[in-house]
Amino acid sequence: MKSPRNIMVCVTQQKTCERLIRRGAELRDAYDGELFVIHVAKEGWNFLGKTKEGDALEYLFQKSKSYGANLTVVRSHDVLETLKDLAEKHDIDLIVLGESQEDSEENNIVSKLGKRLRDDVGFEIVPVKMKRKVV
């Protein structure tokens, strides 16, 4: 893989997405590239999975802005195809995603999206932080 220039961070409806944006910004800074934060909502669903969409969109906008990222929020019938199209449009070299809860290869978004993209597009998976158990 070539040195990343353009980084795409795929976010969901969770406020924990800030860790993904932060990681994308770290990578962007290391490679002097551009950062694109993307949220694609399935047609018919609330944009961010909440009835308070305005608050959720404002939160996402503020977090993206604070890290110097371009924010794109769209609705689509085919989320993967839309992500592919956005990756091509912005000449994305590296995609940052949160750790998937899907164990199986055929249901994993990285596998599905990877099959649609250029071979030289890389992925960085940000693990879910483990909460410490207080005894």
Name the average pLDDT for the chain. 85
Amino acid sitting at position 59: Y
Classify burial at 74, counting beta carbons within 10 Å of its beta carbon; exposed 0-12, middle 13-18, buried 19 or more.
Answer: middle
Give residue 116's pLDDT band: very low, low, confident or very high (50, 70, 90): very high
CA 84/CA 105 separation, integer angstroms: 18
Note whether residue 132 is domain-resident.
no
Note whether residue 27 is domain-resident.
yes
Q: What is the CATH number of the domain that holds 58?
A: 3.40.50.620
Note whether residue 95 is domain-resident.
yes
The domain tally of the chain equals: 1
Q: Are 48 and 6 in contact (CB under 8 A)?
A: no
Note whether residue 90 is domain-resident.
yes
Range of the domain at 102: 6-108+119-126
Note whether residue 1 is domain-resident.
no
E-strand stretches of the chain = 6-10, 34-42, 70-76, 94-98, 122-126
Note whether residue 61 is domain-resident.
yes
Kind plus residue range of the DSSP H or E element containing 128: none
Q: What is the pLDDT of residue 9?
A: 97
Rounded percentage of the chain residues whose pLDDT exceeds 90:
56
